[in-house]
Structure 1
Amino acid sequence: MANTRLFQSASAQSRLPAAMAVNVEGAPAYALAPRHRLAQYAATGCLNSTYYASAEAQLATVLELCQDIDPQFIAQTAVYCRERSHMKDMPALLLAVLAAQGAAQLAPAFSRVIDNGKMLRNFVQILRSGVTGRKSLGTRPKKLVQAWLNAADEKTLLAACVGTAPSLADIVKMVHPQPRQAWRAAFFAWLVGKPHAAALPPALAAFEAWKRERNLPLPPVPFQMLTAQPLDRAAWVQIARQGGWQMLRMNLNTFARHGVFEVEGMAELVAGKLCDPQAVATARVMPYQLMSALLAASDAVPAVVRQALERALELSLVQVPQIAGRVVVCPDVSGSMSSPVSGYRGSATSSVRCIDVAALIAAAMLRSNRQATVLPFEQGVVACKLDADASVMDNAARLAAIGGGGTNCSAPLMRLNSTKALADLVIYVSDNESWIDATRAGATATMVQWQLFKQRNPEARMVCIDIAPHATTQAGERDDILNVGGFSDDVFRLIATFAAGQLQPAHWVGEIEAIALSEH
């Protein structure tokens, strides 16, 4: 008798579009459309070298894509990646592209993307570097920067004082803002080292007084402005009391070194701040950043603070959907996923790898969908026992501990087909650089296996989450397949909408195109 599986596969493949592109590994793949490609790079690229692409290559790709994409979509992508993907460098780069093009969309996008001093410095730095074709700010960008400086309150301006290349003082010297308030004029004069007739605003005045008389109360300024001076434990305790959510998350080991947690009640106070639901939501923290804080916390950080970080991690995953029906999650644990999620940045390289993010997403889906099947894969499906009752961090750690091997994206679907499994939603979390299952012609192995899977599960849908800046996918876009990039909580919202059949026909790109560029 003829091999039914062989001829069934051939029949399925003949009805599928051929994979006409190749991925970085040289294996067949489907090319993302230009708009989709820009969105993918913008939502995942941190302009640092990754396992497959250098920082220079990412920059060149984005700039090339922007040459053929209309300014409206570039602006919408910048807003999406700042407000929903919580990215920093890419949105600033896209604004710089709009500035170089003289696009009318720059102004409304600027008001949405430049929401703090760091983003302002990023924008000015990129524009002045000349990578987008000009080194001067130009009239329109200069006016936008002036308007930002003249509208920011004292707290925002003080926060913007932290950082260099360029510093806030450099920017003030570039654009020469003309403030209407006396306190703002005094602030800018102080910033650039000039005399000022008017009184300084309250926090800055308190800082100057504290520098003269160290027995005064600690001023409410960014702690980086204080640490240039010698500080005792009491001062560090006060810094922790005054610290914002992100500042606390990023400096737990520093507080431990300076004895903050040895003071009665301080560990509980910091823990309470870290797991406050409103503070977590306002901070726009990515789940992987909390994982990073947990991994980086030394033994000197008290258990109650570590537990608060875990609670904050759970809170950051509130958008993880509970899917109606049977769910399969397929995290990629191959060797290429060992790359830092935000790229290589020398001594500042994140301890969180792509595999950690994939594991985190899989564990989060299992937490919300307790009957979900998790199929980690590399060259094949890898056995890994998970506990639906365990914390997200525990299950993520078990998955991330696998690691290694080549990439075979079709392996989970092959396993599901071999066991004649039934499912309503299959979720991949990968860098999509599959090569073990490379085909000589026709469709990718992933698409062939998906077609076979659909014969048993005609209403099933597949989501491919790509957490790295790439231009191809193993599963081409169509009504039942969603390709989305990024690692913010908005990915979970898109999964829920798609699984419910409520996502617009253009899928992820359509979500970006729907953004109204009104100034906030």
Structure 2
Amino acid sequence: MANLTLFSTPRAPALPPATTVNEAGGLAYRRDPRAALALYAATGCLNNTFYSDAQAPLQHVLALTAQVEPRFIARTAFYARQVAHMKDMPALLAAVLSVRDPEAFAQVFPRVVDNGRQLRTFVQIMRSGQVGRRSLGSLPKRLVREWIQQASAETLVRAAIGQQPSLADLIRMVHPKPASAERKALYAWIVGRPYDEAQLPALVQAYEAFKRDPRGLPPDLPFQYFSTLPLDAAQWSALARSASWQSMRMNLNTFARNGVFEDPAMVSAIAARLRDPAQVRRARVLPYQLLMAYQASAGLPQQIPEALQDAMETATAQVPVLPGRVVVAVDVSGSMQWPVTGYRKGASSAVRCVDVAALIAACVLRGQPLATVLPFDTEVRPVRLNPRDSVMTLAAQLAINGGGTSVSAPLEYLNRRREQVDLVVLVSDNESWRDTRKGGATATMQAWDALKQRCPQARLVCIDLQPVASSQTVQREDVLHIGGFSDAVFDLLAQFAQAPGDGSGWVERIEDMPL
């Protein structure tokens, strides 16, 4: 007989060995190219991350696009823009398609380039040479020209804010044909050429008149147009009233510096708009954006942070109730202290990965008060929470500053306590290294396998907040990978918790995006 220690029949299928090493040096599993591209598209902001500079994720994305079908690239770009609400990555994928598959590019362009900022970002990427060409080419040039020609006068005026390239650069580049004397004058006004002011749209005429005599109420334009003019508090109040919901959220401190909140009526009016459920939903605001505004509102009148808390409750009210015994494991390790959208000098979000992870846990806890929340780094750091607290309060309590990373820690904690579990939600950047082994399966996969021996019905959802090409678990029927920090995460989470699946729901949802 052969040695039974070596050749005994296993009780369960052998776990797959790790196939790569992550950026932190720990064992990991290489993602399927489609899943990896989806993760980069839903979380990548083309900025520096904790473990790499901005060039690395860019090269990873370009390499991944060469491994998947153009139609999947198109659907991923559509998903990233319309569902995950990303900006730069959808434009990059559209630029890649302009070279790879012109037909798919033409289909997805209007769904990705849906405002002036996206248009300028797309052209910037095309001209950089990163996708293989430094000029637009005939089809992209035609689509850019058509976008400009079909945009309303107000859309173009609002799109004229911003540089490198500016809207004026784009007009000079693609030469849109004016369909009327008004549009001819507007193009000339944007690019700085002589124009007949009487032919300008009424809004631009009002702005030019206001510049000559800045008295009375300013016209309904973004306040950036008035940044060099000597406006008083009443005029700034008028700008605040006319600002879009998102612009208002982003510029609360600007309004405060210019005397808007000295008027109690203005404080009440802005607070009412901030908490208005219809406006919150229409703005498609992400919870982490509300958290950022709340953190920056410390010196504002009390009504403003309170209104932001109400807006957060609205923005997270759609989080479905998860059935059964739920555990949410929140990574609070050192790398999770990095800005969730990456670091770029002068353009970094104040919200960290750990803040977003805490927000996700807080949202789950509001819908399922009996859920267990386990902050962890190299070990679990239990915390006592009141599920009746606001999402903002819960998130602040969970945003702990930890050390190294062992993604297996919460699973091993549950195993030691022999806890019965139906669903584990693991929110992390997946850069586990303290629990790494010399070979075989990752420690996380081994701990999950042990938990499944006790709880065969259990399911694991891994929510990844950073663009990485590896994971700590393999995707299978009881393990789902999701990337990003939009409300789409919660939809997939609930779907997987309530109905059997094969673990590929996220990629399948992207493949179902209509072109």
Q: Report sequence identity in percent.
A: 51
> 1:324 & 1:342 partners in 2: Cα distance?
31
> 2:56 & 2:384 partners in 1: Cα distance?
39
Q: Deviations over 1:296-321 (max 9, x none)?
A: 1241x111111111111111112312
1:199 counterpart residue number: 199
1:180 counterpart residue number: 179
Cα distance, 1:152 vs. partner?
Answer: 1.2
Structure 1's unaligned 5+ residue stretches are 1-5
1:442 counterpart residue number: 440
Which residue identity does 2:311 align to in structure 1? A
2:65 counterpart residue number: 66
1:487 counterpart residue number: 485
Q: 1:218 to 1:504 in 2, by over 3 A?
A: farther
Aligned residue for 1:177, secondary structure, equals coil
> 2:11 & 2:246 partners in 1: Cα distance?
51
The answer as to whether partners of 1:13 and 1:443 remain within 8 angstroms in 2 is: no
Q: Aligned runs of 1:2-21 on 2, under 5 Å?
A: 15-21=14-20
The answer as to whether partners of 2:321 and 2:368 remain within 8 angstroms in 1 is: yes
Cα distance, 1:288 vs. partner?
Answer: 0.5
1:164 aligns with 2:163: yes
The answer as to whether partners of 1:12 and 1:451 remain within 8 angstroms in 2 is: no
Q: Aligned runs of 1:13-412 on 2, under 5 Å?
A: 15-197=14-196, 199-299=199-299, 301-400=300-399, 402-412=400-410
**Aligned with residue 457 of structure 2, among 446, 459, 477:** 459
> 1:513 & 1:430 partners in 2: Cα distance?
25
Which residue identity does 1:420 align to in structure 2? R
The answer as to whether partners of 1:75 and 1:94 remain within 8 angstroms in 2 is: yes
Q: Deviations over 1:271-290 (max 9, x none)?
A: 11111112111211111111
Cα distance, 1:102 vs. partner?
Answer: 4.6
The answer as to whether partners of 1:12 and 1:448 remain within 8 angstroms in 2 is: no
Cα distance, 1:154 vs. partner?
Answer: 2.2
Aligned residue for 1:241, secondary structure, equals helix
1:427 counterpart residue number: 425
Cα distance, 1:239 vs. partner?
Answer: 0.6
The answer as to whether partners of 2:475 and 2:504 remain within 8 angstroms in 1 is: no
Which residue identity does 1:59 align to in structure 2? L
> 2:131 & 2:444 partners in 1: Cα distance?
38
Which residue identity does 1:133 align to in structure 2? G
Q: How many residues align?
A: 508
Aligned residue for 2:254, secondary structure, equals helix
Q: Deviations over 1:214-269 (max 9, x none)?
A: 22431111110112211111111111111111111111111111110111310111
Q: 1:505 to 1:438 in 2, by over 3 A?
A: closer
Q: Deviations over 1:35-54 (max 9, x none)?
A: 11111111111111010121
Cα distance, 1:464 vs. partner?
Answer: 0.1
TM-score, normalised via structure 2 length: 0.96
Q: 1:37 to 1:451 in 2, by over 3 A?
A: same
Which residue identity does 1:226 align to in structure 2? F
Q: Deviations over 1:397-443 (max 9, x none)?
A: 1111x212111111111111111111111000001111111122221
> 1:173 & 1:227 partners in 2: Cα distance?
26
Structure 2's unaligned 5+ residue stretches are none
> 1:302 & 1:370 partners in 2: Cα distance?
31
Q: 1:512 to 1:303 in 2, by over 3 A?
A: same
Q: Deviations over 1:462-482 (max 9, x none)?
A: 100010010111111001100
> 2:195 & 2:384 partners in 1: Cα distance?
66
1:477 counterpart residue number: 475
Cα distance, 1:503 vs. partner?
Answer: 5.3
> 2:174 & 2:474 partners in 1: Cα distance?
47
Q: 1:267 to 1:442 in 2, by over 3 A?
A: same
Cα distance, 1:502 vs. partner?
Answer: 5.9
Which residue identity does 1:79 align to in structure 2? F
Q: 1:243 to 1:12 in 2, by over 3 A?
A: farther
> 1:435 & 1:309 partners in 2: Cα distance?
37
The answer as to whether partners of 2:297 and 2:304 remain within 8 angstroms in 1 is: no
The answer as to whether partners of 1:429 and 1:464 remain within 8 angstroms in 2 is: yes
> 2:335 & 2:281 partners in 1: Cα distance?
32
Which residue identity does 2:214 align to in structure 1? R
Structure 1 runs of 4+ aligned residues shifted over 4 Å read 10-14, 502-505
> 1:234 & 1:363 partners in 2: Cα distance?
39
Q: Deviations over 1:71-102 (max 9, x none)?
A: 11111111100011111010011111111235
The answer as to whether partners of 1:276 and 1:312 remain within 8 angstroms in 2 is: yes
Which residue identity does 1:39 align to in structure 2? A
> 2:232 & 2:10 partners in 1: Cα distance?
75
> 1:77 & 1:87 partners in 2: Cα distance?
11
Which residue identity does 2:383 align to in structure 1? C
The answer as to whether partners of 2:214 and 2:231 remain within 8 angstroms in 1 is: no
The answer as to whether partners of 2:480 and 2:504 remain within 8 angstroms in 1 is: no
> 1:14 & 1:161 partners in 2: Cα distance?
60
> 2:403 & 2:11 partners in 1: Cα distance?
28
Aligned residue for 1:280, secondary structure, equals helix
Which residue identity does 1:138 align to in structure 2? G
The answer as to whether partners of 2:91 and 2:112 remain within 8 angstroms in 1 is: yes
> 1:266 & 1:114 partners in 2: Cα distance?
35
Cα distance, 1:11 vs. partner?
Answer: 5.5
Cα distance, 1:394 vs. partner?
Answer: 0.8
Q: 1:74 to 1:296 in 2, by over 3 A?
A: same
1:3 counterpart residue number: none
The answer as to whether partners of 2:423 and 2:497 remain within 8 angstroms in 1 is: yes
Q: Deviations over 1:317-352 (max 9, x none)?
A: 123120111110000001111111111111222111
Q: Deviations over 1:152-198 (max 9, x none)?
A: 11221121011100111111000000132332222111111223356
> 2:11 & 2:236 partners in 1: Cα distance?
66
